[in-house]
Amino acid sequence: MDCTVAGIAPSAAPQVDFALVGHPESWSAAADVFSALRGPEQTPLPDDEIRDILPWIPPRAVCRVAVKSIAAAEAHGLYIDSFIPPDRLDAGCVQENLTRVRAAAAYAIKAGARIVSLGGFSSILLEGKFDQLPPGRATVFTTGNTLTVAFIVQGIEKMCALQGRNLWQSTLLVVGATGDVGSGCVRCLAGKVRRVQLVARNVERLRRLAVELEGEGVEIEIGTDLAQFSEQADLAICAASLPSPSLLLDNIAADALVCDAGYPKNLSPDAETSRATVFFGGLGQITGGLTFDPDLRGILNHHPFPDVAHGCLLEGIALTLEGRFESFSRGRGAITPKLVEEIEMIAARHGIYLAPFFNGDGPLPLTMK
Ligand SMILES: NC(=O)c1ccc[n+]([C@@H]2O[C@H](COP(=O)([O-])OP(=O)(O)OC[C@H]3O[C@@H](n4cnc5c(N)ncnc54)[C@H](OP(=O)(O)O)[C@@H]3O)[C@@H](O)[C@H]2O)c1
């Protein structure tokens, strides 16, 4: 396996402290990475050719990543794209995709990474079973979901404060409530709202979560029918493991606040949320310094603000800057408010904070409701 990044001589390569394993969120994101790798001198490939080629590209490092902490630490790593085709994230392709995640993990181990953040579906596919990954004595893995939860919760609380909403009187809807991210959010917020509505497909898991929350002094409702709940919710967190943006929140109240934390996004572009405030959540911003080599800024992190990335990827970076090479988030269902508080303090110590608010239309105006 060749662990070099295009255009960089291996001898000149700095050490690899961390690796970030990601996958394209959409075909346009895949096309952007693809044309950056081919170089500006090559004419971009038409979409249908990219769709034909992508399934044949093995996981590989697409760039080096250097991060500076505001506390003077530095960390060097690789962004490894597993190149899971965006239309193959569904249940029918689990084995094929697991093979890709294992290959990406093997790449990170061979490159000498001490910690690997498993972004988005990379960790979902493993269902918390890290023993499915190749053994690497000096390499540990983290799902990064604890920092993701921290940024989702911070986003909800900050937005409520900015818009003058009363969190304590709110009804909070969580879609994907029994998942690693969803259940972590529920544990952090249940004691701070009046009512929680928990939605997923498996009722038994919903019941178990509801039992766990008894004693928080919150009203709890569980259900599999999103439409039944959505019109009563003041706040909604969408954290379902959907292979494509397909969630419709048609009944959502006009003045609701919705955090879409999916990777890929949960909300369908056709969702009738026009009057609600929607923001993309679970994202953080590196303020000490972030560089990519080759320069894939705006291609890997396609956001309207600089140096913004998914919480799951930032967790591995924060742990590296802190010198804590450990499986901080192992999944599933083990994220507690105490762990969330610990990882957000580590991240903040190194200048990794909640990202500015934006959605698919761009930055959000931060005005009172
Ligand atoms: N923003 C970020 O930085 C970031 C970081 C990490 C992860 N994520 C994203 O967050 C999402 C959740 O990740 P996770 O690790 O928590 O996944 P997970 O542990 O697999 O949980 C997925 C949850 O979604 C539910 N679900 C799946 N399909 C559903 C459907 N059609 N309708 C309603 N609920 C459904 C599952 O329950 P049932 O199976 O019972 O329905 C479960 O509650 C993913 O999109 C992931 O990529 C984002």
**How high is the pLDDT of residue 331?**
79
> Which residue among 237, 238, 241 has the greatest number of ligand 1 atoms within 8 angstroms of its CB, and so is best to mutate?
241
In the chain, how many H helices and how many E strands? Answer: 10, 17
Annotated domain spans of the chain: 10-146+284-354, 149-283+359-363
52-102 pLDDT, tens digit each: 999 999 999 999 999 999 999 999 999 999 999 999 999 889 999 999 999
Give the model's pLDDT for residue 10: 47
Quick one: tokens of 329? 């988030």
Give me 220's structure tokens.
Answer: 């709890």
- Phi/psi at 279 (nearest 5 deg)? -130, 150
What distance in Å separates the CA atoms of residue 288 and residue 164, rounded to the nearest whole number? 31
Residue 11 is predicted with a pLDDT of: 46
Residue 5 has a pLDDT of 60
Read off the amino acid at residue 337: P
What is the predicted pLDDT for the residue at 225? 92
> Can you list the positions of beta strands (E) in 246-315?
257-260, 277-280, 283-286, 290-293, 308-310
Residue nearest to atom 29 of ligand 1 (CA): 240
Describe the crossing of helices 180-189 and 145-162 by its angle, rounded to 10 degrees.
40
Q: Quote the pLDDT of residue 363.
A: 96
CA dihedral 187, 193, 198, 204 (to 10 degrees): 50
Which residue's CA is the closest to the ligand 1 atom numbered 36? 176
Measured in angstroms, how far is the CA atom of residue 166 from the centroid of ligand 1? Answer: 27
Superfamily of domain 149-283+359-363 in CATH is NAD(P)-binding Rossmann-like Domain (3.40.50.720)
Q: Determine which residue's CA is closest to atom 18 belonging to ligand 1.
A: 179
How far, CA to CA in Å, does 248 sit from each of 175, 227, 230, 268, 297? 11, 9, 10, 6, 31
Residue 137: its pLDDT value, please?
84
Residue numbers of the chain with a pLDDT score lower than 50:
7-11
Q: Name residues contacting ligand 1 (CB within 6 A).
A: 120-121, 123-124, 145, 148, 175-182, 199-202, 205, 239-242, 261-263, 282-283, 310-312, 332
Query: Are 136 and 333 a contacting pair, CB within 8 Å?
Result: no
Residue 152 alpha carbon, nearest atom of ligand 1 = 1
Closest ligand 1 atom, residue 266 Cα: 45
CA 292 to ligand 1 centroid distance, Å: 29
Which residue, 281, 275, 239, is CA-closest to 254? 275
CA of 125 to the centre of ligand 1 (A): 11
Ligand 1 centroid to Cα of residue 178, in Å, is: 8
In angstroms, the CA 159 to CA 188 distance is 16
C-alpha of residue 205 to centroid of ligand 1, in Å: 13
Nearest alpha carbon, ligand 1 atom 41: 201
CA of 194 to the centre of ligand 1 (A): 24
Tokens of 78: 């690789």
